[in-house]
Chains A and B, each alone.
Chain A
């Protein structure tokens, strides 16, 4: 995985973690309205929503990353993302800002990082408000499916 130096990220909070989503994959920040149940879906799937005529599958990032949500799910904020050409929705505790962290602040995954995190996380940036976990969204989706199996 190439180091994303100079890349822009949308920051978000989920389960007390500071997450970074590559800005290229983010299409919208919104509140999910009328989430509909998706039976037989992997547990991390929060439901389906209509995003301007497209049906997006909404993933609860806290559930996907096995984190305890710190906000009431009713207050959860949504992020619309595009993963490998498919529209998905994410549910996070809060959305931060768009940042462009300097490459010098980048750190690769430490040796003691467990396998699940190692897979979904491309690396870290030191930030004043915490350690920014750079998410690899296709890997997150794979993990969601694997958790269901």
Chain B
């Protein structure tokens, strides 16, 4: 017996138990509409399910009983004891069939013609009708209905008189759910109830928790046994191991249910809706055996129903409209569930009119969510996303089915709050497809265990695409685009999240790493890499909630106990990606004159960004001057003080619009930096990043172009960054020779080897040539040796000659008097207080605050540069 039939028998058994009592009450209170409605709904539900399951005999019986009840309800028939008896007799007969169905899985053969005839007579008020006719009707009509009912919901056969009465009844809930109003009573004689025990979900949850502890304990025992030499435990341990695994799988299975459980009521819903709406709808359900976590199942039941109703109401057209549009007059809704990459995917597709982008745009404009100009620019796929905005409904008429504004936003919120996602893909005139994705189970997640700074973390496997080795030792260095760490991986520039830095560990910059792992993750088709020190294996982990006091920082999905009993936090890839896009990962871009791609020799290869902006050939610019590439939504481009500016991380950047597109939605922007400032240009298209010498072959005199460069035989326009930037940002510091710029030489004087070791790579990454000295005397020795530096970075509390005296010496010397000195100190405030006015420091910076340190250095250099 299949799952559905088992469910049906159990459910019907409960319903019938309740029905007996209800009928008895009805007999006593013939005029109680509420009881009558309840009885009617019960019979109606059983009938509907029977039809769906192809249980013809049952359906014929319930159908006949339903007609009688419908007549009673319509007032055409009083519930006389005789009538009630007849119905009770029918119920008994149904019970006999159900019992047999439960035992054998099939309907017993038998003849209910007499009973049906009696019921029909009662209902039809046609005692004098010819027997043969009644027989024929009793035989034929219900059978026809039972087969047509579900397969072709729109067929005219269901418009027959048998259906007219119940369908017109307005108290019949269109959802046709199992009526909750009537408390199910345990049926005394049905065995179905005995075979299925209802267990509180909490019991299963507790079991799940305990079994996961058992698994952990087992793992610990196994580990202990491996190191001990005592063989006496080997055999029992092995058994314990197997039993624990089996037990775990069993308990996990109790959490799984076929998705069909959630949508078994849908055929009725669709059928009823089709009637109400005067549409012809065919519902196809594929993959209802797909197993899904019960928690997820409970959660998606209502959203799914909502979406199916939406498809019926808004999605599909009336038969006339469909014919006009050249489609078949029967609309089709397809529910499709399947497993994919550790996720459950549920698609709700219809072949209806699709989402009308122009109507959605209109409504969005009317609600002030969009300006008309923006509406014209956005592609239809983004406009369609507006259906997920709160209070958004484009239904021109509010029907009782849908269109009340409680809509897709609630659905999406619901889905997302449970770790799922909801997307829509729609082509106007062809249909819409909604796709829901969910993790297979919310309790057990396969995760990759990684380590950063000696701490282990888990990353959900579902988000991981691959793992790559990177670093200087692996011929695949982590590079800097601006100051953002990136990895070139198979023709793609992968933005990197430096996990150690994101988590607040004191970590050297990613770009200096010799050997690291990059875990490539995917969030909604966006790929990015997570830089970690070590990668271990994949484990099935049990997700445990994060303590309330830790919830402020939602970087974590939860905690987990690993196989060896250790604790690890589970990273939320969504948040990692968020960190990546909202904050500079390594250090503040504005303070770092990042010139990693800079080479002293212009003929050497440099990373060049190739893009199209306006007419002319594709343009190329050195990537070292690019702070960031972004797709910019139109609402981020605003006018301020007569200038066009870009809203960027809470700042306003001067913006030049160089593309000639006006219909695009999100347009690519290149954000350039001059070491201190940033400014952006909007371009048509960003094509590629290529390695090539930025050697100008043909110097031109066109403003905005440095000339032509040739890369592999193709001419590119050498984009004059400074020309364009100066036009929009007068303070822009032009560095025409940026790519051949000399690195600033900095002398670091600090007696702590730790800090010298810490600062060197940091400063090198920031574009300085670094020389270190362990005390003032060594530093002054360098001066005497004829060395020159652009900047001196000195600790104040030096042993021997202190920082103030050292600065005095430097400023008094003819060789280094012009060299700016930045003081490093633990406390900036107290250092300033102690400083003599003539000490000669250009700036003070906290040595542990690298951002302000780099900024102070850049400013000190700038001041000196300006003075020269």
Centre residue among B550, B552, B555 by max chain A CB count within 10 A:
B550
Taking CB atoms, residues of chain A closer than 8 Å to B550 are 38, 41-42, 45, 57
Closest chain B residue to A40, Cβ basis: B553
A50 within 8 A of B: yes
- Would you give the 0/1 interface string for A72-90, flagging 1 where the beta carbon is closer than 8 Å to chain B? 0000000000001011100
B213 within 8 A of A: yes
List 8 A-B pairs, Cβ < 8 Å: A36-B566, A39-B555, A40-B553, A42-B549, A50-B566, A53-B209, A53-B210, A53-B213
**Are the C-beta atoms of A145 and B544 separated by less than 8 Å?**
no
Taking CB atoms, residues of chain A closer than 8 Å to B549 are 41-42, 45, 57, 59, 141, 144-145
B561 within 8 A of A: yes
Closest chain A residue to B546, Cβ basis: A57
Centre residue among B505, B548, B566, B567 by max chain A CB count within 10 A:
B567
B15 within 8 A of A: no
Taking CB atoms, residues of chain B closer than 8 Å to A88 are 547
**Are the C-beta atoms of B212 and A141 separated by less than 8 Å?**
no
- Alpha-carbon distance between A81 and B677 when the two chains are bound, in angstroms: 52
Which 9 pairs of residues, A with B, have the shortest CB-CB distance? A53-B213, A39-B503, A57-B547, A55-B559, A40-B553, A48-B567, A36-B567, A37-B455, A50-B567
Q: Which residues of B are in contact with A by a Cβ distance under 8 Å? A: 209-210, 212-213, 216-217, 455-456, 503-505, 544, 547-550, 552-553, 555, 559-561, 565-569
Taking CB atoms, residues of chain B closer than 8 Å to A55 are 544, 559-561, 567
Extra contacts, 19 of them, besides A39-B555, A49-B567, A57-B550 (Cβ < 8 A), are: A34-B566, A37-B455, A39-B569, A40-B555, A42-B552, A45-B550, A48-B559, A50-B216, A52-B213, A53-B213, A53-B216, A54-B213, A55-B544, A55-B559, A86-B547, A144-B549, A145-B549, A145-B552, A148-B552
Taking CB atoms, residues of chain A closer than 8 Å to B548 are 84, 86, 141
Interface size class of A (residues with CB under 8 A): 20 to 34
- Would you give the 0/1 interface string for A112-146, flagging 1 where the beta carbon is closer than 8 Å to chain B? 00000000000000000000000000000100110
Centre residue among B209, B456, B552, B555 by max chain A CB count within 10 A:
B552
- Alpha-carbon distance between A148 and B553 when the two chains are bound, in angstroms: 10
Taking CB atoms, residues of chain A closer than 8 Å to B503 are 39-40
Closest chain B residue to A35, Cβ basis: B567
**Are the C-beta atoms of B560 and A39 separated by less than 8 Å?**
no
- Alpha-carbon distance between A48 and B760 when the two chains are bound, in angstroms: 34
In whole Å, how far is B709's beta carbon from the nearest beta carbon of chain A?
45
- Alpha-carbon distance between A50 and B553 when the two chains are bound, in angstroms: 21
Taking CB atoms, residues of chain A closer than 8 Å to B565 are 34, 50
Contact check: which of B504, B555, B569 meets A48 at CB < 8 Å? B569
**Are the C-beta atoms of A53 and B552 separated by less than 8 Å?**
no
Taking CB atoms, residues of chain A closer than 8 Å to B456 are 36
- Alpha-carbon distance between A41 and B561 when the two chains are bound, in angstroms: 18
Closest chain A residue to B550, Cβ basis: A41
- Would you give the 0/1 interface string for A26-70, flagging 1 where the beta carbon is closer than 8 Å to chain B? 000000001011111110010011101111110100000000000
Closest chain A residue to B456, Cβ basis: A36
Known: A48-B559, A50-B561. A39 touches B505 (CB 8 A): yes
- Alpha-carbon distance between A54 and B561 when the two chains are bound, in angstroms: 8
Closest chain A residue to B562, Cβ basis: A50
- Alpha-carbon distance between A40 and B569 when the two chains are bound, in angstroms: 11
Contact check: which of A36, A41, A54 meets B553 at CB < 8 Å? A41
Taking CB atoms, residues of chain B closer than 8 Å to A86 are 547-548
Q: Which residues of A are in contact with B by a Cβ distance under 8 Å? A: 34, 36-42, 45, 48-50, 52-57, 59, 84, 86-88, 141, 144-145, 148-149
Taking CB atoms, residues of chain A closer than 8 Å to B213 are 52-54
In whole Å, how far is A136's beta carbon from the nearest beta carbon of chain B?
15
Known: A39-B504, A148-B552. A53 touches B567 (CB 8 A): no
Closest chain A residue to B213, Cβ basis: A53
- Alpha-carbon distance between A88 and B549 when the two chains are bound, in angstroms: 10
**Are the C-beta atoms of B455 and A36 separated by less than 8 Å?**
yes
Taking CB atoms, residues of chain A closer than 8 Å to B552 are 42, 145, 148-149
Contact check: which of B217, B504, B547 meets A40 at CB < 8 Å? B504
Taking CB atoms, residues of chain B closer than 8 Å to A145 are 549, 552
- Alpha-carbon distance between A41 and B569 when the two chains are bound, in angstroms: 12
In whole Å, how far is A140's beta carbon from the nearest beta carbon of chain B?
10
- Alpha-carbon distance between A49 and B548 when the two chains are bound, in angstroms: 16
**Are the C-beta atoms of B569 and A38 separated by less than 8 Å?**
yes
Taking CB atoms, residues of chain B closer than 8 Å to A56 are 547
In whole Å, how far is A72's beta carbon from the nearest beta carbon of chain B?
21
- Alpha-carbon distance between A34 and B209 when the two chains are bound, in angstroms: 21
Known: A34-B566, A45-B549, A145-B552. A39 touches B455 (CB 8 A): yes
In whole Å, how far is A47's beta carbon from the nearest beta carbon of chain B?
8
- Alpha-carbon distance between A59 and B544 when the two chains are bound, in angstroms: 18
- Alpha-carbon distance between A56 and B559 when the two chains are bound, in angstroms: 9
Closest chain A residue to B551, Cβ basis: A145
Closest chain B residue to A142, Cβ basis: B549
In whole Å, how far is A55's beta carbon from the nearest beta carbon of chain B?
4
- Alpha-carbon distance between A84 and B549 when the two chains are bound, in angstroms: 12
Taking CB atoms, residues of chain B closer than 8 Å to A45 are 549-550
Taking CB atoms, residues of chain B closer than 8 Å to A141 are 548-549
- Alpha-carbon distance between A40 and B550 when the two chains are bound, in angstroms: 8
- Alpha-carbon distance between A144 and B569 when the two chains are bound, in angstroms: 20
- Alpha-carbon distance between A41 and B559 when the two chains are bound, in angstroms: 13
- Alpha-carbon distance between A86 and B548 when the two chains are bound, in angstroms: 8
Closest chain B residue to A53, Cβ basis: B213
- Alpha-carbon distance between A10 and B624 when the two chains are bound, in angstroms: 62
Taking CB atoms, residues of chain A closer than 8 Å to B568 are 36
- Alpha-carbon distance between A87 and B213 when the two chains are bound, in angstroms: 15
Closest chain B residue to A54, Cβ basis: B544
Taking CB atoms, residues of chain B closer than 8 Å to A52 are 213
- Alpha-carbon distance between A53 and B304 when the two chains are bound, in angstroms: 36
Closest chain B residue to A34, Cβ basis: B566
Taking CB atoms, residues of chain B closer than 8 Å to A49 are 567
Taking CB atoms, residues of chain A closer than 8 Å to B455 are 36-37, 39
- Alpha-carbon distance between A55 and B505 when the two chains are bound, in angstroms: 22
In whole Å, how far is B780's beta carbon from the nearest beta carbon of chain A?
42
**Are the C-beta atoms of B216 and A34 separated by less than 8 Å?**
no
- Alpha-carbon distance between A39 and B506 when the two chains are bound, in angstroms: 11
- Alpha-carbon distance between A56 and B561 when the two chains are bound, in angstroms: 11
Taking CB atoms, residues of chain A closer than 8 Å to B544 are 54-55
- Alpha-carbon distance between A148 and B560 when the two chains are bound, in angstroms: 24
- Alpha-carbon distance between A41 and B549 when the two chains are bound, in angstroms: 8
Taking CB atoms, residues of chain B closer than 8 Å to A148 are 552
Taking CB atoms, residues of chain A closer than 8 Å to B567 are 34, 36, 48-50, 55
In whole Å, how far is B558's beta carbon from the nearest beta carbon of chain A?
8
- Alpha-carbon distance between A145 and B553 when the two chains are bound, in angstroms: 11
Taking CB atoms, residues of chain B closer than 8 Å to A41 are 549-550, 553
- Alpha-carbon distance between A145 and B566 when the two chains are bound, in angstroms: 25
Closest chain B residue to A47, Cβ basis: B567
In whole Å, how far is B450's beta carbon from the nearest beta carbon of chain A?
13
In whole Å, how far is A19's beta carbon from the nearest beta carbon of chain B?
19
- Alpha-carbon distance between A76 and B565 when the two chains are bound, in angstroms: 21
- Alpha-carbon distance between A145 and B551 when the two chains are bound, in angstroms: 9
- Alpha-carbon distance between A87 and B504 when the two chains are bound, in angstroms: 25
In whole Å, how far is B225's beta carbon from the nearest beta carbon of chain A?
19
Taking CB atoms, residues of chain A closer than 8 Å to B547 are 56-57, 86-88
In whole Å, how far is B248's beta carbon from the nearest beta carbon of chain A?
13
- Alpha-carbon distance between A50 and B568 when the two chains are bound, in angstroms: 9
Closest chain A residue to B565, Cβ basis: A50
In whole Å, how far is A36's beta carbon from the nearest beta carbon of chain B?
5
- Alpha-carbon distance between A88 and B210 when the two chains are bound, in angstroms: 19
Taking CB atoms, residues of chain B closer than 8 Å to A48 are 559, 567, 569
In whole Å, how far is A113's beta carbon from the nearest beta carbon of chain B?
24
Centre residue among A39, A54, A55, A88 by max chain B CB count within 10 A:
A39
- Alpha-carbon distance between A42 and B217 when the two chains are bound, in angstroms: 30
Taking CB atoms, residues of chain B closer than 8 Å to A34 are 565-567
- Alpha-carbon distance between A141 and B550 when the two chains are bound, in angstroms: 10
Taking CB atoms, residues of chain A closer than 8 Å to B561 are 50, 53, 55
In whole Å, how far is B794's beta carbon from the nearest beta carbon of chain A?
31
In whole Å, how far is B571's beta carbon from the nearest beta carbon of chain A?
10
